[in-house]
A and B are shown apart, each in its own frame.
Chain A
């Protein structure tokens, strides 16, 4: 065993280059000026907001600054996000986001799975809002197939996605509280989320990666007594959001750390393709549920929460109030839930019920075909987008007429939203950098896919 070389004996292993090479932040001397410009957040070539990279600390000497790594294993990066920061003392000069540590090739995997199996794949992308992932995937396939889904399925989908939005925002409230030092919020947020996850388990059989929304409808009808469960969930969480108000919203430490920190303007947000709470915090009232309604969102009453300053506090307030709005929608879903089928009865899409298989040859054939080969989808290219808790999640699908998607691309909101990072970080202190990561709310499963 004497030929084993310990890492400590090989200092180059500790200080040497990592494999990321050109993806990493380099020293100022080795950085071209447009590259430097992007890393200080001046990606924008817009009138009025253009930042000339030469004006931004360009003359600064290399030995005045320090490049440090934050992540990929830093607890405040909400996963495996790696930020390379150039610091002048406490303050951030340049930022570079290095991602890909959770890349599992889900888009490639999606090409080898049939349309039915594919839902299990997409649900694992944004693991905090699985229902909404499945929804965008299913809507895309239904658009290609031209299948009409029953009224009840539409409303169940809406109910579940709003519950999912609440649970996702609750996790955000929890982790954001944790990042800002309010550890009790961590416990409260996860406690309330548990109510929703328990309901998910009761409905779909699973807590997290539900595979509940499927092409043609949903996997199962709502369980008996679901109205009462929803009533309890809504009442409890709504009441507790006011407790969060007492705990956090008025709290001076939290306010000081959020108000006026990380502000962006509407022009910047639009140019960087930011969507979701990030865009709405700048005052742009863009919510796909309202602006380009899908499902039955045009039949429910809710407000689109919009901020003014585009700072961290606006993003906090938007998410907190969106919980309340989602609960409003959930209540209306309970009220208006129509009777009927929970999935399309088209035998090409939906497997026959178990009881029919024993008595009908046709049902047996359909069942066999669906679970071996899957259904064929007409050739074509479609894109459809829905509003996830983090912004626009879209699915672009190319079908060649076979039972598997030829190409499936997911437009992940967190992936695009991360582009705001250098802009938000510039000039902030490292402790504010943590709040910035938190309020952008990236889910790394979705960023890397």
Chain B
């Protein structure tokens, strides 16, 4: 069944988009990530303009992370103070990201920037994840105990001024690095159409020493708040959010996420991280390939003055 998307200005098959939502939702539920880094490239692949894809995926990620956040809220696994501090940085970051997005679009370099950011970010994160999880798997195969994280070792930026006590996470650190992390996540989310969960979780665990128990729930709260603000900002500045597209993606996404979460519980943590790492790496490679290989057509055209 074909449906005409009013903002993207193309007809798409509803079931294809729904299936994409389900598949990405399954993966996001399984690994506890938003899935924007998969959804945006998929939409571009089926012919949605990159700008519309990025802007519309923000609301899709908002929906899936909100349903996740509710589940974690019931389990009291959310650190509200931490989420709000991250959000303060995140909103400023989103605004900056949307501004950069608008500027790059005017310069004809948006597609390049999206491609480069994907390659860099996914490449680095993918390699780190695969390396870490592979080591963990080898270690457990050899029968050695899991590596114990050195407890509470302080890093210089923990001691910066504006110290805050994050009660539920049981950490007492400066708000400045927390705000900075929020800024980075918000900025990347707006430019790349990703929730940033796969970046935020390791940052909070390794840099801020936040316990794993509260990390995922808090990350989900931040993701949905930044994605909500990114949706509103994209809608007001670029007018490129396709609500029809977003709704189809959301419905598929939230349903898929439920099944994914179920499947994820049956797989061991390090294997899950290895799979996610490989997936992240594969998407990064796909973008790298596109940038490096001579394109079929050196020319491209763009209507000046918005997608409407």
Pairing of A with B: no
Residues of B at the A interface (CB closer than 8 Å) are none
Residues of A at the B interface (CB closer than 8 Å) are none
